[in-house]
Amino acid sequence: MRFGIPIMMDNNPATSGVDMSPELLVRMFDTIDNISMVKESTGDLSRMQRIDKLSGGRLPFYNGSNPLVLDALRAGAAGWCTAAPCLRSQPCIDLYDAVRAGELPRAQTIYTELKPLLEFIVAAGPATTVKAGLELIGAAVGDPRRPLLPLDDEGRAALQKLLTSVQ
């Protein structure tokens, strides 16, 4: 079967239960039509660097680990797959742009301000956090589907504080 669209491989063993090695990812890129990028979500920067080295820089890698974003972008990640822009897009764009422009002190400042929100999203779960956050910023989309539960009152209060502190 052929597909006419680019395919991003997503290595996220925490959610899939399968860990694809850098070697396997590069082999798939080399042999399967339309695979054109990989999201590496293990939180291991050395794996991203290994993908880059094994592919000779031909396989763009994207960071899928919020806490690692600054280091991944500095190491050459083509981008960042995250739920954070759903709640605070501009700081995410500014972080990416600052790294690309070589403005690393500015990037560090943005990351430092954004980091508590990024950590909260990971800890509380992206779907739960984004749905609660969207409601808090005036764009209610309803509760997450079961078996996920809505963010509790304490979590909502913490998220509101984080959303207020990150502009």
* Residue 70 and residue 20 share a domain: yes
DSSP string, 34-89: TEEEEEE-SS-HHHHHHHHHHTTT-S-EEE--GGGHHHHHHTT-SEE--SGGGT-H
pLDDT at 68 over 60: yes
* Residue 158 and residue 96 share a domain: yes
* Residue 54 and residue 22 share a domain: yes
Our count of domains for the chain comes to 2
Domain span holding position 93: 83-167
Residue range 42-53: mean pLDDT, rounded: 95
pLDDT of residue 15: 87
Residue range 60-79: mean pLDDT, rounded: 95
Side chain identity at residue 2, one-letter code: R
CATH code: domain of residue 32: 3.20.20.70
* Residue 118 and residue 91 share a domain: yes
Give the separation between CA 31 and CA 8, rounded to whole angstroms: 14
pLDDT of residue 3: 65
* Residue 27 and residue 2 share a domain: yes
pLDDT of residue 22: 97
pLDDT of residue 45: 95
Residue-wise pLDDT tens digits, 125-159: 999 999 999 999 999 899 999 999 999 999 999 99
pLDDT of residue 97: 98
Residue-wise pLDDT tens digits, 1-37: 566 899 999 999 988 999 999 999 999 999 998 999 9
Give the separation between CA 93 and CA 85, rounded to whole angstroms: 8
* Residue 88 and residue 76 share a domain: no
pLDDT at 166 over 90: no
pLDDT of residue 1: 57
Give the separation between CA 160 and CA 136, rounded to whole angstroms: 7
* Residue 72 and residue 100 share a domain: no
* Residue 160 and residue 101 share a domain: yes
* Residue 58 and residue 5 share a domain: yes
Per-residue burial over 103-142, b if 16 or more Cβ lie within 10 Å, else e, is eeeebeebbebbeebbebbbebbbebbbbbbebbeeeeee
* Residue 20 and residue 98 share a domain: no
Residue-wise pLDDT tens digits, 95-117: 999 999 999 999 999 999 999 99
Which positions ≥6 away from 118 have C-beta within 8 Å?
A: 66, 67, 69, 82, 84
